[in-house]
Amino acid sequence: MPRKTLDTAVIDLMQSIGVLLRRARAASGSHELSLTEAFVMGRLAKDGPATTADLARAEGMKPQSMGTTIAALEEMGMVERKPHPTDGRQVNIGLTAKGAAVRKSAKDAKQTWLMRAISQLEESERETLFKAGEIIKRLAEK
Amino acid sequence: MPRKTLDTAVIDLMQSIGVLLRRARAASGSHELSLTEAFVMGRLAKDGPATTADLARAEGMKPQSMGTTIAALEEMGMVERKPHPTDGRQVNIGLTAKGAAVRKSAKDAKQTWLMRAISQLEESERETLFKAGEIIKRLAEK
DNA sequence: TATTGTTATACTCTATAACTATA
DNA sequence: TATAGTTATAGAGTATAACAATA
């Protein structure tokens, strides 16, 4: 396959992703989690408590913006803040029981919408997306 | 590969994409095109003039939102509106000479940022992204 | 009655700037 | 002096609602 075609294809990929993200957002009602909120909860569930700065770095956001996200999740009762045992500046963010339950029950409409779409794919297509995810992750981290 | 792992992987993909989009946006200065604007110009360059409604449907947006995008591009001198020859309601959106030139010269910083990132990939990785693009496009169109 | 488009308004997400507190 | 966090403000992008014009 010629290189130029592939370059254009990746631009097309970004455009398709834009459409997909808009659809996913539209599918989630106002009472649901945003993509960033879902990410934060997923990370907390997987790796345990983290600081605002940690989460911001992981998601490529400014700490102030992540602070806003955390505040929204806290107001929903999904996460709680606990002071760091030794460093008085830091605050550990952790999932509440409710947050863990919501995370487990997969009530996130956005994930449900995605899961529904994904369930229609063939195994080989999922694997392609899996590989693409690793590539994009590497790109995003640079 | 187990199915559960792949499902999780696709969620990870979406998260990585979120980070990538934020980086791409941050890389483009305020004088540059947004992703949606770049998409619109790409489509106009490829398929010729289109109506606001056409473009909105293609991008999964509301016509009013696309109207705002078109207005921004028009103010930049990238596109121009021409009345439809027979249907008085419709307005054809087409690239101006300036718009076509900007499109050709690849001065879009976002594309440049992406191109720089993409250029570091191996050929097989580009091909994976190409395939993923087709899969995601299909998902987004459903 | 349905479709195209515009204008006005509001909401979501993230950024920048300025500040406090702790190391 | 550097790091963690908060609060206030602003901007981009898109949505909803209400409207006018045309089919």
Asked if residue A30 has pLDDT above 50, the reply is no
Domain over A19-141 is classified CATH 3.90.1280.10 = no
The pLDDT-based confidence of A95 (bands split at 50, 70, 90) is very high
Residue with the larger pLDDT of the pair A131 and A29: A131
Residue whose token pair is 């590539």: A135
Spatial separation of the C-alpha atoms in residues B107 and B101, rounded to whole Å = 9
Chain D nucleotides covered by protein, CB below 7 Å:
3-8, 11-18, 21-23
Q: Which of A8-22, B93-107, B123-137 has the lowest mean pLDDT?
A: A8-22
| Number of neighbours of residue A63 by Cβ within 10 angstroms | 14
Spatial separation of the C-alpha atoms in residues A40 and A93, rounded to whole Å = 10
Mean pLDDT of all residues in B24-48: 79
Give me the percent of chain B exceeding a pLDDT of 70.
Answer: 80
Residue with the larger pLDDT of the pair B84 and B32: B84
Are B23 and A60 an interchain contact pair (Cβ–Cβ within 8 Å)? Answer: yes
Q: Which of B9-18, B80-89, B116-125 has the lowest mean pLDDT?
A: B9-18
Spatial separation of the C-alpha atoms in residues B18 and A139, rounded to whole Å = 12
Residue with the larger pLDDT of the pair A99 and A14: A99
Spatial separation of the C-alpha atoms in residues B49 and B47, rounded to whole Å = 7
| Number of neighbours of residue A84 by Cβ within 10 angstroms | 12
Asked if residue B137 has pLDDT above 90, the reply is no
B15 to chain A, minimum CA–CA distance in Å? 7
What is residue B30's predicted lDDT score, i.e. its pLDDT? Answer: 47
Asked if residue A31 has pLDDT above 70, the reply is no
Asked if residue B14 has pLDDT above 60, the reply is yes
Are A16 and B128 an interchain contact pair (Cβ–Cβ within 8 Å)? Answer: no
For A8, which residue in chain B has the nearest alpha carbon? Answer: B130
Asked if residue A109 has pLDDT above 70, the reply is no
Asked if residue A40 has pLDDT above 60, the reply is yes
Chain C nucleotides covered by protein, CB below 7 Å:
3-8, 11-18, 21-23
| Sequence spans of domains, chain B | 19-141
What is residue A140's predicted lDDT score, i.e. its pLDDT? Answer: 77
Are B18 and A3 an interchain contact pair (Cβ–Cβ within 8 Å)? Answer: no
What's the pTM value of the predicted model, to 2 decimals? 0.81
Asked if residue B92 has pLDDT above 70, the reply is yes
B85 to chain A, minimum CA–CA distance in Å? 30
Q: Which of A35-39, A91-95, B15-19, B80-84 has the lowest mean pLDDT?
A: B15-19
Are B10 and A130 an interchain contact pair (Cβ–Cβ within 8 Å)? Answer: yes
Asked if residue A123 has pLDDT above 50, the reply is yes
**Measured between alpha carbons, how far is residue A63 from residues A52, A54, A56, A127 in Å?**
6, 9, 5, 34
Encode pLDDT of A54-67 as tens digits: 999 999 899 999 99
What six digits make up the tokens of B128? 């994976």
Residue with the larger pLDDT of the pair B116 and A121: A121
Residue with the larger pLDDT of the pair B13 and B52: B52
Say yes or no: B54 contacts chain A, CB-CB below 8 A: no
